[in-house]
A = this chain, B = another copy of it.
Amino acid sequence: MTVTIYDVAREAGVSMATVSRVVNNNPNVKPQTRKKVYEAIERLGYRPNAVARGLASKKTTTVGVVIPDISNSNFAEVARGIEDIANMYHYNIILCNADKRKDKEIRVINTLLEKQVDGLLFMGGAVTEEHVQAFKTANVPVVLCATTDEENKIPSVDINHEEAAYDAVNVLLSQGHKDIAMISGTLQDPSNGYARYYGFKRAMEEAGIPEREEFVRVGNYRYESGVEAMNYFLDQDKHPTAVFAATDEMAIGAIHAIQDKGLRVPEDISVISVDNSRMASMVRPQLSAVAQPMYDIGAVSMRLLTKLMKKEQVEEIKVILPHEVVKRQSVGTIQG
């Protein structure tokens, strides 16, 4: 039924070792022999069995990547970066969605490890003690991308989320805004949640603006929660003149909530966020945002992983990529 390396060997009149050599591009094969083997392969339609190969060589040339939410375009972009570099180094990647659920993350990590991946990329999401435990039992390198561990022990590639938020709030501040509200992510989420809230807090403190509890709402990163949070702000006696949202989607929800109430962005209320996803220019007015280099985060983390897998020396285990504020139309100067 299935044609094996042994069949090819017989067909070509050589040993299976020789076939193995040509399949693996081992130079120690006479060109003429190589040709014979290739012909036999062609004739028989031989396709190497990666499972057998993996067992024998103890390498699978595949890296597992766990993605918290496949329908999140940010992560999709990271995956792109991972892929491109993986291809470049001849690794296959197997993507596993974890549905933003911790138990599934752990399960998926274990499945990947059982499948004997040569390395693991863990994307986004909080890294708990349980995660660290799972990573430790892996005897392959792990790198976190677009997230970090508290302990700062595991290799990772990310931006400085707090700084990004801080910068975003500062563009609002520099335009004269003082009544600034924030639509945060959940505070349990260290990078997209807590760190960004903390950046907001720090910027406000430094500007000498007292904290207003009614000007902070936590959403779930989604559009609808942006709408909801904004409506909450709008229902107050005096609404904020500017809003900082932890994600583009929530910011767009905020913009629409504002417009639905008959107010204008940025004339009445300014909006800024962190992300700069493709959607930022798919809204009117176009959204100003601090850009996270998602593709690069993916690419750099995969590159780091290749080095780790090859046991090469790496200088820095924790890399922070720069972010950048992208000004579009959703932020205006405060009048008065």
Interface residues of A, Cβ cutoff 8 Å to B: 1-2, 45, 47-52, 54-55, 60, 62, 70-71, 73, 76-77, 79-80, 83, 92-97, 99, 110-111, 113-116, 137, 139, 223, 249, 252-253, 256, 259-260, 278-279, 281-284
Task: Give the CA-CA distance A2 to B281 in the complex, in Å.
Answer: 51
Q: Are A259 and B278 in contact (CB under 8 A)?
A: no
Which of B92, B116, B278 contacts A223 (CB under 8 A)? B278
Rank and list the top 9 A-B pairs by shortest CB-CB distance, nearest first.
A94-B94, A71-B76, A95-B95, A50-B114, A51-B54, A50-B115, A51-B116, A70-B76, A51-B55
On whether the beta carbons of B115 and A51 are closer than 8 Å, the reply is yes
The reply to whether B94 and A95 form a contact with Cβ atoms under 8 Å apart is: yes
Q: How many copies does the complex hold?
A: 2
Closest residue on chain B to residue A60 by CB atoms: B51
Chain B residues in 8 Å Cβ range of A278: 71, 223
Contacts of A79 in B (CB 8 A): 70, 97
A249 to chain B: which residues have CB within 8 Å? 282
Inter-chain contact A223/B282, CB cutoff 8 Å:
yes
Known A-B contacts: A47-B113, A51-B54, A71-B278. Give 7 more (CB < 8 A).
A50-B114, A51-B51, A51-B115, A94-B95, A95-B96, A252-B282, A284-B284
CB atoms of B55 and A83 under 8 A apart: no
